[in-house]
Structure 1
Amino acid sequence: MELRLVGSVRRAPTEWAVELKGDGVVRKERHKHDHEEHMDESWLIPYADLLTLLLAMFIVLFASSQIDQKKFDEIRKSFQAALSGGPSFFQNMSPVPPNTEVGVEREGAAEEKEQSTDEQMRQKESVQLLELKRQIDQYIEENGMTTRIETQLDQYQLRITISDNTLFASGSAQLNPESRQLAGTISILLEQHPDYEVIVAGHTDNVPIKTSNFPSNFHLSSDRALAFMSVLLENPDVGKERFSIIGYGENKPVATNDTPEGRAQNRRVEVSIIRNVQ
């Protein structure tokens, strides 16, 4: 009778099978199990996810340095959607054109510089025209003409308004001696500021006129403006190329034509020194 005992003895890392016989022991080696040949690599999955999230974060940080608040809110929502399993912002995001904001910043800087230069020129003009106004006002006060001549400086011009009875007889375009002296003084002052355009404008009231010399108020206002400008140009150094005249007739009143006082205000000659920067 043969006695056979079959058992197994497990030793790491090899499993042995032992078969006992009456006349001896036979050992047989079995192969290792597959799951004992490799280390557990399940940790690589969360590690790869972490690297992916870090890469996405750095991309977002780089992109958000050149985007506006609206896109930043979209990125924030994208992160929330990604963490909750929703669609990502990066699926529909197109790249920002290079140097777009740089070009806008340069244009803005150029415009700001131009505005700053204009403002400096405007201030310089204001100083010059204020000094000219002060000199004319001084002449007006010294000669007792404060009720007949006035000056006004605004953002467009320095305007000298002279009533017609200071310059002309009624219905005439011939300057009286006092007005010639005034025109000569203004001409000397304008000579000191050669860079400004000068416009001489004539105005009348609405009372019609029709004579051999003046068929209409347009003719009268134009001839009066021309007469005053002609005296200004008697100064050879004043620069005649910057002068022009306009005859408005009764079309630009400054007061009502229903009263004698209002009509007197409307009959006037205006000398406008035009700003170069407005």
Structure 2
Amino acid sequence: MSRRRRRRKDAPPHQQERWLITYADLLTLLLIFFVIMYGVSTIDAEKYEAVSSSLQTTFQSGTNILDGGPKIVGDNGQQLPGTKGNAQGGATDDEQQGQDEPTARELQFREQERQLASFLQTIQSYVADNGLADQIFVADKPQGISITLSDRFLFDVGRADLKEGATGILDRLAALFGTVDATISIEGHTDNQPITGGRYADNWELSGDRALSVLRYFIDARGLDPTQFQYAGYADTRPVGDNSTPQGRQQNRRVEITVLRQLQSDEAAAAQ
């Protein structure tokens, strides 16, 4: 016991006071902490009031900066550079009126959508009333209103001359095309069975000629404007059914007529 006490008395002074270093470090850290807290808690009252007032006005008005609503202002109430609107942060009367009024192009598209909706409803009613649901398929697709006609309804096997019974639906479509300001696309499609003999060398010629026959009926027999139409033949490159089955091949032999969601003026400009 005496030896242990003697060793503690004889310990070097610097070892006995090492706790003071840790204590001093702790005090320094506390001092830094309180200085930072004090700095954070100091707020520029004027800037805070300006920002708070601007945000409150924005939320109350129901608009935002991207929509041309009130803008944040500087310390002295001036409008920040690069923002629109008047000195009070809002849009001018002329700008606000321009934002509320649709452009002529927007009005054209709205009118076209109204016409397409009426067109779709009329065709669907015609198909249902005449029991043609198994031969005529109508769908509202992103590119436009699509009317798919089975080749059994339009043509004899291996031919592109219109059947006499096909003119009823074509006449109905022709009457409706005059009510729509849009381009009409006519596409011919076949299955993948090769053509042997006859007038056509392959399915490309047959599909193209079938689409052309429908187009010529609208233009020659019904007197529609040729600039409203376009046509193409795709042979068997765009199947909708399985060509390994009779049912699938029958689905692929078709003519698709699409009233496009595209203004005729836009298509004319793109073609130039």
Q: Which has the larger radius of gyration?
A: 1
Structure with more helix by fraction: 2
Q: Return 5+ residue gaps in structure 1 as ranges.
A: 1-52, 68-95
Tell me which amino acid in the other structure corresponds to 1:168.
F
Q: What are the within-5 Å matches in structure 2 for residues 164-183 of structure 1?
A: 164-183=151-170
Give the 3-state SS of the residue equivalent to 1:219 in structure 2. Answer: helix
Q: TM-score, normalised by structure 2?
A: 0.60
Q: Distance in 1 between matches of 2:126 and 2:200?
A: 32
Residue-by-residue CA offset, 1:206-254 (whole Å, 9 max, x unaligned): 1112445211111110000000111111356522111010111101111
Q: Distance in 1 between matches of 2:192 and 2:101?
A: 46
Q: Unaligned stretches of 5+ in structure 2?
A: 1-41, 56-77, 264-272
Higher share in strand: 1
Q: 1:138 aligns with which of 119, 125, 128?
A: 125
* Partner of residue 255, structure 2: 269
Q: Does 1:242 align with 2:228?
A: yes
CA distance, structure 2, for counterparts of residue 219 and residue 188 of structure 1: 29
2:141 aligned residue: 154
Counterpart Cα distance in 2 of 1:171 and 1:143: 27
TM superposition score normalised by structure 1: 0.59
Conservation of the 8 A alpha-carbon contact between 1:184 and 1:235: no
Is residue 102 of structure 1 aligned with residue 89 of structure 2?
A: no
Distance 1:185 1:63, change over 3 A: closer
Structure 1 segments of 4 or more deviating over 2 A?
A: 56-67, 96-99, 108-127, 137-144, 210-213, 234-238
Percent sequence identity is: 28
Alignment root-mean-square deviation, CA: 3.8
- Alignment match, 2:32: none
Q: Which residue of 2 aligns with 1:232?
A: 218
Shift of 1:142: 3.3
**Alpha-carbon deviations, 1:183-217, whole Å to 9, x = none?**
12211111222x11000000000111244521111
Match of 1:220 in 2: 206
Shift of 1:141: 2.9
